[in-house]
Amino acid sequence: MVSAGDFRNGVTLEIDGNVVQIIEFQHVKPGKGAAFVRTKLKNVINGGVVEKTFRPTEKFPQARIERVDMQYLYSDGDLYNFMNVENYEQIALNDETVGDALKFVKENEMVKVCSYNGNVFAIEAPLFVELQITETEPGFKGDTAQGATKPATVETGAVVYVPLFVNENDVIKIDTRTGEYLSRV
């Protein structure tokens, strides 16, 4: 059990029959009245975000989220196939479950499959990936005062904004959480 006074970002709890993750929390001590905890909670199953306040003494059970390393094999229409590398079991997930988590993931790369009570609800891509640029406009010298970017398509089909000096066939490092260019490899 986790009391509201001990909330931290990223903690997953069961509140009112829903599995939620704490995105933000703030302990508030008004001049008049009792202290309370203001939180922003994300429902891990459907992705909805709500704001709630709690008394610091309220307690909630911590939800056990299983994160299993799996290899992304291939997509077949609207199904995405994954394999557990320990026991070679394969699962197929639909487009709704996967969302845009695989936008920067190539086939045969490792991802984390998140489930609660055996129900898969999310895919976590690696934090950083290295992808080759398949298509981009050439950059021209003297085209910028500072920090100009151009769109570039990577081998998974996603579009990333890169500096003007990056060319086609360059391999770049991307932060999958924000979709930002980090560096050339």
Per residue in 1-45, pLDDT (tens digit) is 888 888 888 788 888 888 888 888 999 898 888 899 999 998 877
- Above pLDDT 70, what percent of the chain? 96
Q: CA nearest 159: which of 94, 101, 96, 103?
A: 103
Q: Where does the pLDDT of residue 143 fall: very low under 50, low under 70, confident under 90, or very high at 90 and above?
A: low
Mean pLDDT of 133-147: 73
Structural domains of the chain in order of their starting residue, each with its CATH number: 2-60 (2.30.30.30), 66-124 (2.40.50.140), 129-184 (2.40.50.140)
Mean pLDDT of 121-129: 84
Q: CA nearest 156: which of 116, 129, 182?
A: 129
Please give the residue that has the higher pLDDT: either 111 or 118.
111
CA 66 to chain centre: 15
- Above pLDDT 90, what percent of the chain? 9
What pLDDT, on the 0 to 100 scale, is given for residue 140? 66
Q: pLDDT for 73-96, tens place per residue?
A: 988 888 888 998 888 888 888 887
What pLDDT, on the 0 to 100 scale, is given for residue 184? 85
Q: What is the largest CA-CA distance in the chain?
A: 63
Whether pLDDT at 139 is above 80: no
Q: What is the value of pTM for the model shown?
A: 0.69
Rounded CA gap, 14 and 101, in Å?
24
From first CA to last CA, the distance across the chain in angstroms is 45
- Average pLDDT of the chain? 85
Q: Where does the pLDDT of residue 52 fall: very low under 50, low under 70, confident under 90, or very high at 90 and above?
A: very high
